[in-house]
């Protein structure tokens, strides 16, 4: 843990220095956390390649020969990278705990209305990945690679919307379908998706900034080095308690931790339902609801409780925002530097076709569908979170969001979290993701039938989302 924290701090410092010194990073609005994370990723992959090992896989005893003088440093480095991989899940929970805690929440009806459209958007993205994957497999890949199974078409959704965790879970499903390579191929798709997410996401963010698609408008003429506040310092928080009794920032940390603790308690209570299964389902859909939705609710509960007892003025929004922003900076570095870039060479051409199809679809979802489905006031902010999620992880989406909405004030992150229960248990690694491969292999004569059916569902969801969108 100490080594991992030290690595993250060093990379953040390196990223800040690069952002201050390099005009290219300033023009592209690359945050220090992303710059430092990319530097760390390159270094880690270079070290691993040079020593012929995979760092961060928790196989320390296999990293180097016992007689090698580099054994101990490599083991420590690998353990640190493995530790960093566990950070994003927890740090996302911290970030969402502060979203409804540091400010008065919007009217519930307004939030739920936006969350409903966001939930439909995730269904459109995920089912679109499935339909497109099946169509490409049926029409392009199987004529040249007849041994490729039908479930090969599921790899876009497995790796992109699902991610590495879903790829690992789907390994058992693919094994039962006599497709043992499925786990490795899904992992490759997830890795390629994350790498593409960071690079292409920066392009889309810069396009949005220059086109004025963001709430901050067109700021293409603004070049920020990061040292502007050196001349005109801005407060990072306001004291709500006397510092000779308790440090004010510690007091705000306690409030934030109360929200996180409440979310953890709710999450653990849901975990107690692990044995509850419906007769026609193999998994409990409640188990797919992510932790961050509970910490979001925890933050709302703490805020409402303190307001009820006339203690709401003790919450300092600036301090809470700084704490969650700190968590976000470390989240971004951890998410990028711990990427596993091991590639799968076998079936590289079919995978390339799937990757190309997935990249095109996610771009269409961001720039065309998202603009018509998501709330007009922050369609790009919410769309870029979806883009990060649908090509990599939620952490990627939040990292991209921070460039155009650094304090998460647009409401996009809030609606994304509220909509998670509408989609997370079902798609992107949920129930449908797990049961579709068996259906495709055992109950489908031609992939054309399910591909067209799922495409029809995607179109139906799109028109429903358009229908419920307000005109203003």
Is the alpha carbon torsion for 54, 55, 56, 62 positive or negative? positive
Give the global pTM.
Answer: 0.68
**Residues above pLDDT 90, as percent of the chain:** 22
Give per-residue pLDDT as tens, 348-387: 788 889 999 999 999 999 999 999 999 888 899 999 999 9
Give per-residue pLDDT as tens, 261-286: 999 999 888 877 766 655 545 555 56
Least confident of 58-72, 171-185, 341-355, 450-464: 58-72
Q: 255-267: string of b/e by CB count within 10 Å (b at 16+)?
A: bbebbbebbbebb
Q: Distance between CA 370 and CA 113 in Å, rounded?
A: 15
Q: How confident is the model at residue 329 (pLDDT cuts 50, 70, 90)?
A: confident
Q: Is the pLDDT of residue 335 over 50?
A: yes
More confident residue, 65 or 86: 86
For residue 289, the 8-state DSSP code is S
pLDDT of residue 34: 79
Collapsing DSSP to helix, strand or coil, 407 comes out as coil
Burial (CB count within 10 angstroms: exposed 0-12, middle 13-18, buried 19+), residue 110: middle
pLDDT of residue 58: 47
DSSP, residue by residue, 45-108? HHHHHHTT--TTSS-GGGSS-TT-TTHHHHHHHHHHHHHHHTHHHHHHHHHHHTTTTSSPPPPH
Nearest C-alpha neighbor of 90 from the set 261, 251, 220, 337 = 261
Q: Is the pLDDT of residue 249 over 60?
A: yes
Give per-residue pLDDT as tens, 209-229: 888 888 765 544 456 777 877
Q: How confident is the model at residue 92 (pLDDT cuts 50, 70, 90)?
A: confident
Average pLDDT, the chain: 80
**283, 431 contact by CB (below 8 A):** yes
**411, 378 contact by CB (below 8 A):** yes
Q: At 189, list the tokens.
A: 């798709």
pLDDT of residue 61: 45
For residue 313, the 8-state DSSP code is G
Q: Is the pLDDT of residue 165 over 80?
A: no
More confident residue, 313 or 225: 313
């Amino acid at each position: 843990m100490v080594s991992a924290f030290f690595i993250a701090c060093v990379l953040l410092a390196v990223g800040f220095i690069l952002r201050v010194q390099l005009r290219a990073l300033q023009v592209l609005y690359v945050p220090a956390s992303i710059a430092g994370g990319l530097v760390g990723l390159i270094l880690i992959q270079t070290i691993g390649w040079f020593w012929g090992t995979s760092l961060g896989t928790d196989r320390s005893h296999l990293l180097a020969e016992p007689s090698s003088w580099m054994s101990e440093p490599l083991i420590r480095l690998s353990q640190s990278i493995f530790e960093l991989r566990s950070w994003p899940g927890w740090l996302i929970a911290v970030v969402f705990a502060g979203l409804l805690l540091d400010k008065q929440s919007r009217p519930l009806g307004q939030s739920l209305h936006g969350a409903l459209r966001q939930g439909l958007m995730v269904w459109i993205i995920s089912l679109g990945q499935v339909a497109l994957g099946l169509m490409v497999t049926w029409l392009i890949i199987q004529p040249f690679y007849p041994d490729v199974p039908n479930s090969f078409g599921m790899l876009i959704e497995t790796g992109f919307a699902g991610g590495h965790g879903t790829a690992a879970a789907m390994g058992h499903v693919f094994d039962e379908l006599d497709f043992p390579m499925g786990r490795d191929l899904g992992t490759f798709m997830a890795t390629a998706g994350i790498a593409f997410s960071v690079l292409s996401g920066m392009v889309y963010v810069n396009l949005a900034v220059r086109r004025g698609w963001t709430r901050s408008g067109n700021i293409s003429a603004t070049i920020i080095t990061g040292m502007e506040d050196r001349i005109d310092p801005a407060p990072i928080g306001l004291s709500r308690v006397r510092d000779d009794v308790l440090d004010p920032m510690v007091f705000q940390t306690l409030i934030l931790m109360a929200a996180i603790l409440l979310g953890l308690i709710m999450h653990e209570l849901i975990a107690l339902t692990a044995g509850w299964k419906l007769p026609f389902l193999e998994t409990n859909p409640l188990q797919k609801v992510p932790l961050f939705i509970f910490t979001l609710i925890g933050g709302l509960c703490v805020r409402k409780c303190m307001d009820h007892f006339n203690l709401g003025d003790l919450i300092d929004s600036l301090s809470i925002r700084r704490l969650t922003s700190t968590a976000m900076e470390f989240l971004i570095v951890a998410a990028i530097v711990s990427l596993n870039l091991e590639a799968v060479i076998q079936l590289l051409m079919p995978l390339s076709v799937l990757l190309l199809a997935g990249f095109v679809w996610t771009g269409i979802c961001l720039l065309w569908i998202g603009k018509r489905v998501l709330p007009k006031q922050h369609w790009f902010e919410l769309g870029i979170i979806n883009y990060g999620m649908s090509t990599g992880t939620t952490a990627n989406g939040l990292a991209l969001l921070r460039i155009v909405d650094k304090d998460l004030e647009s409401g996009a992150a809030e609606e994304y979290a509220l909509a998670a229960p509408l989609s997370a248990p079902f798609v992107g690694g949920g129930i449908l993701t797990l049961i579709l491969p068996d259906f495709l292999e055992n109950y489908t004569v031609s992939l054309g039938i399910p591909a067209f059916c799922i495409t029809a569902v995607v179109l139906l969801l799109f028109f429903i989302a358009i229908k419920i969108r307000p005109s203003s």
